[in-house]
Structure 1
Amino acid sequence: MYAPLPAEIASTFLDAAKPLSFSLVPASAAAEGLVEAIAGQVAEYGAAGRKRQPRKKLGDQHRAVGTITGSLLKRWSAEQPACVWHSAKAEGFTELPVGYRLFKAAQEGMIALGYVSHAPGIRFNASGFDSGPWSGRASRMWPTEKLLALACEHGVTPGHVPDAFRFQMPSG
């Protein structure tokens, strides 16, 4: 079983977030089935307002869903479960294997479908003066019971996460 979700989200939980890993990809049939199931739902969700889903982007969207799913499960199956973070700014995706638009679409779809919980990022004035300097905290994500249950249904249990998702360095 995965660690239970916190009853209340405290700032200490959000502060202990780990960076989202864009290098994680499904490495087992179980993980591939899990990611495929979620990616299909995300594609349907995203296509609801459009006449058709561009076929060439489905593989990229699969990668985005795999990145989010793998990172969430990897961090949640650790001895000390943690949420993950990544900058929501487009320039934060330069030279990453998943582009900004596909990542945002996957993230928004997974949140809307109930697989991911999310705490928005915040910006604040670090000095107390109107002119700055400004500081902030990137948005945080963590798995919901729905994602954890679906992972277990597909055979991706906490003990199997290290074998289910592997690191793959971007090519090119």
Structure 2
Amino acid sequence: MTSTKEAAQARDDERTTATGLARYAYEYIDAARLVDTHHGKRPGFEFVSPIPAYFLAAHGIELTLKAYLRHTGIGARDLSRQYGHDLHACYRKAKELRLLDHFAEDERDRQALGMLVELSRGHELRYIRTGYKQFPSWAIVEALAVRLHQAIAPIVGYHSLAVRFGDYK
């Protein structure tokens, strides 16, 4: 007989699927691209993307990584408790579980992820924090989010965005 705790964990695992996480990731990444496109048409935003675009993209990357982790057998509760919103921890674990067999990591990906990790660590994509901040180029953030999703979505049974970034592998 299973305990109440084990039954709750089984329900969480059943309800939090890799495919579902990939779907949410797709929607966050798509929304980030829409926000950037919409704001890019406004004066003053020709070269700088709005903070919500970065936030949406970072969350889409997190959900994409969690889709991969869930697919490899990591339980839903562990995704929440062990990894939370820690992009660095999610990425590190995904690489341990052979993510790079599916995703052609580029130096620009590492650069974008590193900067997003720093901005996320201080919740600077959610709340205003005064002082100097360094934001990655939107071009490398968008490319990371989309390409990572394109690599993982088919593995977990979901579709991805039909976008190409010519100078990436």
Give the TM-score normalised by structure 2.
Answer: 0.29
Higher helix share: 2
Q: Which has the higher strand share?
A: 1
